[in-house]
Amino acid sequence: MNEETIIGDIVREVAEPMLFINRNKQIIFATKSFEDLIGRSDLIKEQCECDFLMIPSVSPDCNHLCCWDVIDIYLTNNESGLWLLKRGDGSLVPVLCSMESVKMGDRKVFVVLTMKPLCSHSPNNMCICYNMGLGFFRSMINSRKIENYLDLTIDFFRKSYSLKSIVWLDMKHGFVEDAGIPRDIPSEKLHNVIFTTLKALKNPTPFDVTVHGNKKSYIFHIFPPSRTREGRVLLVRNIGKITDRQVISNILCAVDVANSQLSNLKIDPASECEPVIFNVLSEREKEVLVYLTKGMTDRETAAELHISIHTVKNHVRSIMCKLNVNKRTKLIKFCLTHLETDIFTQKKIRKRG
């Protein structure tokens, strides 16, 4: 076995989900993590056949476009994709896909796709990121009319993530405003393809739509609610090359909170009092976290809880490990950004006396 073969085998085993597809639309390389993700291992030298392997994007006639059909559009617009992978059992896996083309001279010879799985945001399979965002967006909608909330969320995503072209779509009544829709794209055509695609999906999940205008092609990233096909949907254009899946999760949270105001929808009551993220912490760790977010020192926290400073430090290390945060300041900022303060104050804290 030569060095190239050994290196190739190592990359295949340890790399994140990746595909290399040649000009003949054949998969010439797939990492093991990709094969595990879709539950198949027979991809090498197989035709790409996006209809059977993935849904990179949907066109206005509701056909699934091939990755080779749309990669130039994504690269020109400097965009990541919200694609759907088809598992061997027929289920769909939403992924955040980044892509590059490899050229020899002026000729494109490979397409390289790198996938990051997005967690399902269905009620039965809520991920940590999703649950942490619910509290933040619920706090935005409290005591406000739904119209104000829709405007606030758009302003939040524009300022926080530089998402300039973002618009709400009411599946029953059309676009809340057409400001984010290019003039050469009929809004009715866009509405119809989104509605048709949502009806075809067994479970609502983010997906992309590619629409050809008079002078250029546009990519719309569609974020539907998790519990209905007739509620409010958020459309984002020019999302950029994002790598942080928390951005996607936050958008999904904002959409679900907007739709929780509809009479036939409710956010899971269990998540109203305490997000699932806290289930990984012990009761004592939750108490320590309360004092951390109030800016108290380890010595002050130890005095309040009648424990040693050494014990407090151990609890903090454990909390950071469980929440996957490597610095105390990041931990506090993380919690205050994504969770409501009321969630902490609901905990019964043992004080002196």
Task: Give domain limits for the chain.
Answer: 3-117, 128-271, 281-345
Q: 3-117 falls under which CATH superfamily?
A: PAS domain (3.30.450.20)
Residue 30 burial (CB count, 10 A): 24
Give CATH for domain 281-345: 1.10.10.10
List per-residue pLDDT tens for the chain, 353 residues long.
554 555 555 555 557 888 888 887 788 888 888 888 888 777 665 555 565 678 888 887 667 778 888 888 898 888 999 998 888 777 888 889 998 888 777 777 888 899 888 764 444 344 545 555 676 787 777 666 777 888 888 888 888 888 878 999 888 777 766 666 888 888 888 888 888 888 888 788 899 999 888 878 889 999 998 877 778 999 998 888 887 777 888 898 889 888 876 534 444 433 333 444 455 667 788 788 878 877 788 998 898 888 899 999 988 888 887 776 778 877 777 676 545 433 443 443 344 33
Q: Which of 176, 177, 169 is nearest to 197 (CA)?
A: 169
- Cα gap 31→16, rounded to integer Å: 7
pTM of the model: 0.69
Tens of pLDDT along 108-130?
788 889 988 876 444 434 454 55
Residue type, 208: D
Rounded to 10 degrees, what is the CA torsion of 201, 41, 52, 204? Answer: 10
Nearest to 253 by CA among 145, 149, 121, 142: 121
Per-residue pLDDT at 348:
38
Q: Which residues of 227-246 are buried (b: 16+ CB within 10 A; e: fewer)?
A: bbeebbbbbbbbbeebeebb
Q: How many residues does the chain have?
A: 353
Provide the H-helix boundaries in 111-234.
128-141, 146-161, 187-200
Edge-first strand listing for the sheet containing 46-47: 46-47, 26-30, 18-22, 107-117, 92-104, 81-86, 54-55
Domains 128-271 and 281-345 share a fold: no
- Write down the architecture of domain 128-271 according to CATH: 2-Layer Sandwich (3.30)
Backbone torsions φ then ψ of 46, nearest 5 degrees? -95, 150
